[in-house]
Chains A and B, each alone.
Chain A
Amino acid sequence: MVKEIERAGIPVVHMCTVTPISMTVGANRIVPTIAIPHPLGNPALSPEEEKAIRRKLVERALEALTTEVEDQTIFEV
């Protein structure tokens, strides 16, 4: 999906846990997330802490979306 949307000319950030797969399939902007069963949350945290993490991840993704890249890039959080 990432590749098809980009083919249509729209930049994509792939937020995912297993970044090596994202690299293998050819995503250009990658933001690493928490864990496979809960990429954008963490049941071990309080709701307030979880919200803070979600905001951080989304802001990082938006930043990645507006950053020019030459090659496949992982935007560490």
Chain B
Amino acid sequence: MKLELGYIQINDIQFSKECKVENSTLFVDPDAVKAFMYEDDDVKAWVKDFSFDVAKPGESVRITPVKDVIEPRVKVEGPGGVFPGVISKVDTVGSGKTHVLRGMAVVTAGKIVGFQEGIIDMSGPGADYTPFSKLNNFVVVAEPVEGYQDHKHEYEHAVRIAGLRAATFIGEIGRNVTPDETQEFETLGIKEGIEKYPDLPRVAYVHMLQTQGLLHDTYVYGVDAKRTLTTIINPTETMDGAIISGNCVSACDKNTTYHHLNNPVVKALFAAHGKTLNYVCNIITNENVYLADKQRSSDWSAKLCRLLDLDGAIVSQEGFGNPDTDLIMNTKKIELQGVKTTIITDEYAGQDGKSQSLADADPLADAVVTGGNANEVIILPKMDKVIGTLDYVDVIAGGHAGSLRPDGTIEAELQVITGATNEMGFNRLSAR
């Protein structure tokens, strides 16, 4: 399966009645975006209104509470469309050509669960910890209808769909734009790969998806991943939005849809493919709340690794706490099949960094990359402008009573910052 990504660089976003990309500036009509979002019945039913803003790198702007970050893309050649099974029909994606509006993102914000959304600072020390401070962000703030509190699953679904629809609308603006740069990614069939690279080690990426339920969910082709068995997916499928985030969970180490689209493990493995290793495929596996599910899913990961005759596997986690057990179960069982593993995780080692980093451990997990200590305390200065609301800063995971100080500064753990200790190794705290 072969996919060409055509990158259209976006250095600025301007509101305008005409929607176009010109000289690396995106001109977009928020009213048209809003109308497109409201074409969905669930969005209509649960979202009272949307407001729009633009946040640019270096500005004194804080966006909070952040739900998801999404990169606009559009399929210009080949089967299917972006976000299959959710926005587009369910056809298999990952081949042909896709245009990417690079350098920007759609950020959805507003109250949902409150304590499980995050903060993006566009400047200051907080900006160093989130990759999204370097992007031009088209921010969509959603306001729920009255009585949404008893229907949070429905409301989360509506905001998730709204964000994806906004990204789809903006992606479409790039359909007929000539990309600034193109890049090709190809995954070979099993036999083809062995014949082409007989001497290279066979490596797969075991991609763990947060699926604990209660708004901690990930969707694959529209399927709630907690109801799936571990399976195989072509890496390029993920570049077309086959995996999307439905997660309201600690901001620092949840994978946003942007992370799924731009997975650094996928990129690094493709870069090494055919040179130092043979990148076989991705294995996606869930993180459920029943022990039997954990056992079944990790058994299945190990089975697939053996069936694919792998030499090595990179395992990335999402979230922390009980998913540490999924991580260790996967790693241990894969190692016992004779397949070497390296794991990517993050740490909750206490504010002083002296506590045990993971809830679970095993001697076979002997190659570990860390995304950093989520408990580390940071002081965030007051920003001139807030997009969203500061109402939840004290209760956000990683915050505490008094986090928001009277002078407008915030004292909190890194946990509050969207993407700070990402376990795909996306951010600056990674060991790359």
> Taking beta carbons and an 8 Å cutoff, which residues of A are in contact with B?
17-21, 24, 32, 34-37
Which among A20, A21, A24, A34 has the highest number of chain B CB atoms within 10 Å? Answer: A20
Asked whether B361 lies within 8 Å of A24 as measured between CB atoms, the reply is yes
Asked whether A21 lies within 8 Å of B360 as measured between CB atoms, the reply is yes
Q: Can you list, as one digit per residue, whether each of B263-292 has a CB less than 8 Å from chain A (1) or not (0)?
A: 000000000000000000000000001110
> Taking beta carbons and an 8 Å cutoff, which residues of B are in contact with A?
212-214, 289-291, 294, 322, 324-325, 328-329, 359-361
Inter-chain contacts of A35 with B (CB < 8 A): 289-290
Inter-chain contacts of B361 with A (CB < 8 A): 24
User: What 6 A-B pairs have minimum CB-CB distances, sorted nearest first?
Assistant: A36-B289, A35-B289, A35-B290, A18-B325, A18-B322, A21-B360
CA distance A21 to B294 in the complex (A): 12
| Known contacts A18-B322, A18-B325, A37-B214, A24 near B360 by CB under 8 Å | yes
CA distance A62 to B222 in the complex (A): 45
Q: Nearest residue in A to B291 (C-beta to C-beta)? A: A17
Asked whether B294 lies within 8 Å of A18 as measured between CB atoms, the reply is yes
Q: Nearest residue in A to B359 (C-beta to C-beta)? A: A21
CA distance A37 to B226 in the complex (A): 14
CA distance A6 to B290 in the complex (A): 27
CA distance A37 to B78 in the complex (A): 43
Inter-chain contacts of B214 with A (CB < 8 A): 37
Inter-chain contacts of A19 with B (CB < 8 A): 291
From residue B163, how far is it (CB to closest CB) to chain A in Å?
Answer: 26
| Known contacts A36-B212, A36-B322, A37-B213, A17 near B289 by CB under 8 Å | yes
Q: Nearest residue in B to A23 (C-beta to C-beta)? A: B360
CA distance A19 to B361 in the complex (A): 13
CA distance A36 to B216 in the complex (A): 13
Q: Could you list 14 further interchain pairs (A-B, Cβ under 8 angstroms) beyond the known A20-B360, A24-B359, A32-B291?
A: A17-B289, A17-B290, A17-B291, A18-B291, A18-B294, A18-B325, A18-B360, A20-B328, A21-B359, A21-B360, A36-B212, A36-B322, A37-B212, A37-B289
CA distance A19 to B290 in the complex (A): 11
From residue A35, how far is it (CB to closest CB) to chain B in Å?
Answer: 5
Inter-chain contacts of A18 with B (CB < 8 A): 291, 294, 322, 325, 360
Inter-chain contacts of A34 with B (CB < 8 A): 290
CA distance A32 to B294 in the complex (A): 13
From residue A69, how far is it (CB to closest CB) to chain B in Å?
Answer: 20
Inter-chain contacts of B213 with A (CB < 8 A): 37
Q: Nearest residue in A to B329 (C-beta to C-beta)? A: A20
